């Protein structure tokens, strides 16, 4: 008898669907546990820590405005392109698809609507490159004269989703402006000095209404435009300006800072009309980077990156204190506050020679651990729910398999009985045919056989 005879075929699709669901749940549980393992590596409490990118000479930083949810940071390096972290700086990976080999990303600027448009710009030797998929891939965005230039600084309008405005500061070729998201650029240097090295750009948070942008020009000071970059006027003459930072409440407090090489920090509280040095407490006056708290109106906090360390002011720059020893004894090239600074109190620093360091402030030495324990508790509760769902799915699968096996056994038994009946009938028919074959020919004729 054929070994496949009488076997009942099982309908597999319902079981496959359930198995697929179960496997997905296993994956989600694994990812959920792994996520905590990664996030546990981010900023230390009252201490500088780093997760990389090891060996990369980091020049620029850009943090997702949605950092509290996506934990995403970008680091622009000298010769190694762009690195991305999606766990708050715990781990890093290169994201250079579309960038030139050994690209130096000396400037980065991220869309205020990054959660939706995934847009980030990188500038360096060779011009500007744009990513619309969160840094996974890049395209050249140099139409209008930027190709081959050294782009030192970038600034995006806070209303980028509507006005599509981006500025690029170059070394010796001034400022370029795009009003279509980087597709085309036009030089806009009226009022700037000859061969300006624009190392910093800072755009007003109210740019749509006030059209204000500042340019930090090395050798020549700070320049201001109130017509969207169409023309410029000098507001801080002669300073070797590396960095310009604007208060997030510029529309009401008119406060801004300029970091200079050799003269320290300058502060203005009237939109750049007047300036005063404010260096009390700084270890030296070689200031490469500045960052203002997103909650400046309430916490009065500003950071300055100098040779060897980062200094913090909690009185709007009137005096400074060293955050903590522990950074490499080299230049701090970029400083950035977490957009969620009010909750996580975290600041990031990029240094010469490699790595992005992070530091989280707290009066409670156990605050970071408590926060992480709470995160773990929430994640474990979620994991338990996923495991319970997984167990339910697997129980349903086992029950269905058992039912099908029982059904198959019954059907196979019935098939066996039917086969025996068929064999019996065949045997009887063959006997009758054999008997008939032995009848005399005349009788067969009479019977019509």
User: Are the C-beta atoms of 169 and 218 separated by less than 8 Å?
Assistant: no
Q: What pLDDT sits at residue 254?
A: 96
Mean pLDDT of all residues in 424-430: 81
Using CA atoms, how far apart are residues 114 and 93, in angstroms rounded to an integer? Answer: 19
Residues 11-70 have pLDDT tens digits of 444 555 555 554 544 444 444 444 433 343 355 567 788 888 988 889 999 999 999 999
Residues β-bridged to residue 215: 201, 223
Q: What pLDDT sits at residue 49?
A: 85
Handedness of CA 109, 112, 114, 119 (dihedral sign): negative
Report the residue count for the chain: 449
Kindly indicate the confidence band of residue 337, based on its pLDDT and cuts at 50, 70 and 90.
Answer: very high
Mean pLDDT of all residues in 212-241: 95
Task: List, in order, residues 6 or more apart from 178 with CB less than 8 Å away.
Answer: 141, 144, 164, 165, 166, 167, 168, 184, 185, 186
Question: The pTM is what?
Answer: 0.72
Strands 309-313 and 127-131: unpaired
Mean pLDDT of all residues in 236-258: 95
Residues 58-103 have pLDDT tens digits of 999 999 999 999 999 999 999 999 999 999 999 999 999 999 999 9
Output 419 or 194, whichever has higher pLDDT: 194
With 60 as the cut, is the pLDDT of residue 370 above it?
A: no
With 70 as the cut, is the pLDDT of residue 144 above it?
A: yes
Mean pLDDT of all residues in 298-327: 90
CA atoms within 13 A on the CB side of 445: 3
Helices (H), 71-181: 114-117, 160-163
Phi/psi for 305 (5° steps) reads -95, 120
Residues 111-135 have pLDDT tens digits of 999 999 999 999 999 999 999 999 9
What residue has token string 């995403």?
72
Instruction: Establish whether the linkage from the previous residue to 53 is cis, with ω within 30° of 0.
Output: yes
Mean pLDDT of the chain: 85
Residues 313-334 have pLDDT tens digits of 999 999 999 987 678 878 899 9
User: Are the C-beta atoms of 298 and 314 separated by less than 8 Å?
Assistant: no
Using CA atoms, how far apart are residues 169 and 158, in angstroms rounded to an integer? Answer: 17
Q: What pLDDT sits at residue 76?
A: 96
Phi/psi for 213 (5° steps) reads -145, 145
| Cβ-based burial of 253 (10 A; exposed 0-12, middle 13-18, buried ≥19) | middle
Q: What pLDDT sits at residue 401?
A: 87
Output 28 or 104, whichever has higher pLDDT: 104
Give the start-end residues of each E strand in 103-165: 105-110, 120-124, 127-131, 139-140, 151-156
CATH of 47-361, picked from 2.130.10.10, 3.40.50.300, 2.170.120.12, 3.30.420.40, is 2.130.10.10
Phi/psi for 296 (5° steps) reads -55, -35
Mean pLDDT of all residues in 268-274: 97
Using CA atoms, how far apart are residues 175 and 213, in angstroms rounded to an integer? Answer: 11
With 70 as the cut, is the pLDDT of residue 369 above it?
A: no
Least confident of 166-170, 361-365, 387-391: 361-365
Using CA atoms, how far apart are residues 301 and 361, in angstroms rounded to an integer? Answer: 12
Q: What pLDDT sits at residue 378?
A: 65
Mean pLDDT of all residues in 152-159: 96
Domain locations along the chain: 47-361
Coil, strand or helix at 313: strand
Q: What pLDDT sits at residue 393?
A: 83
């Amino acid at each position: 008898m054929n070994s496949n005879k009488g076997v009942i075929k099982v309908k597999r699709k319902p079981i496959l669907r359930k198995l697929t669901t179960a496997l997905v749940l296993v994956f989600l549980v694994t990812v959920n546990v792994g996520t905590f393992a990664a996030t546990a590596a981010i900023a230390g409490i009252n201490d500088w820590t780093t997760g990389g990118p090891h060996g990369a000479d980091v020049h620029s930083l850009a943090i997702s405005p949605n950092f509290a949810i996506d934990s995403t940071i970008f680091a622009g390096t000298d010769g190694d392109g762009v690195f991305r972290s999606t766990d708050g700086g715990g781990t890093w990976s290169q994201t250079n698809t579309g960038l030139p080999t050994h690209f130096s990303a000396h400037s980065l600027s991220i869309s205020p609507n990054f959660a939706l448009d995934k847009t980030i710009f990188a500038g360096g030797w060779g011009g500007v490159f744009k990513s619309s998929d969160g840094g996974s891939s890049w395209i050249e965005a140099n139409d209008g004269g930027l190709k081959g230039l050294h782009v030192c600084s970038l600034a995006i309008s806070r209303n980028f989703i509507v006005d599509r405005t981006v500025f690029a500061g170059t070394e010796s070729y001034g400022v370029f402006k795009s009003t279509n998201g980087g597709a085309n650029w036009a030089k806009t240097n009226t009022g700037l000095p000859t061969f300006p090295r624009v190392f910093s750009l800072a755009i007003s948070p109210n740019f749509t209404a006030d059209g204000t942008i500042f340019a930090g020009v090395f050798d020549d000071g700070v320049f201001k435009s109130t017509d969207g970059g169409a023309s410029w006027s000098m507001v801080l003459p002669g300073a070797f300006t590396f960095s310009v930072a604007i208060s997030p409440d510029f529309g009401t407090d008119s406060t801004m800072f300029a970091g200079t090489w050799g003269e320290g920090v300058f502060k203005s509280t009237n939109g750049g009309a007047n300036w005063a040095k404010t260096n009390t407490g700084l270890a030296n006056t070689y200031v490469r980077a500045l960052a203002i708290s997103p909650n400046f109106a309430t916490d009065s906090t500003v950071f300055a990156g100098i040779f060897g360390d980062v200094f913090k002011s909690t009185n709007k720059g009137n005096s400074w204190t060293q955050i903590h020893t522990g950074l490499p004894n080299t230049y701090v090239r970029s400083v950035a506050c977490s957009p969620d600074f009010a909750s996580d109190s975290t600041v990031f620093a990029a240094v010469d020679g490699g790595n992005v360091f992070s530091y989280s402030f707290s009066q409670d030495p156990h605050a970071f651990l408590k926060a992480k324990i709470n995160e773990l508790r929430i994640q474990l509760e979620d994991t338990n729910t996923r495991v319970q769902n997984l167990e339910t799915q697997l129980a349903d699968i086992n029950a269905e398999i058992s039912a099908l096996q029982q059904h198959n056994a019954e059907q196979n038994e019935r098939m066996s009985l039917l086969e025996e009946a068929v064999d019996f009938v065949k045997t009887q028919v063959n006997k009758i045919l054999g008997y008939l074959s032995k009848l005399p020919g005349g009788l067969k004729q009479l019977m019509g056989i």
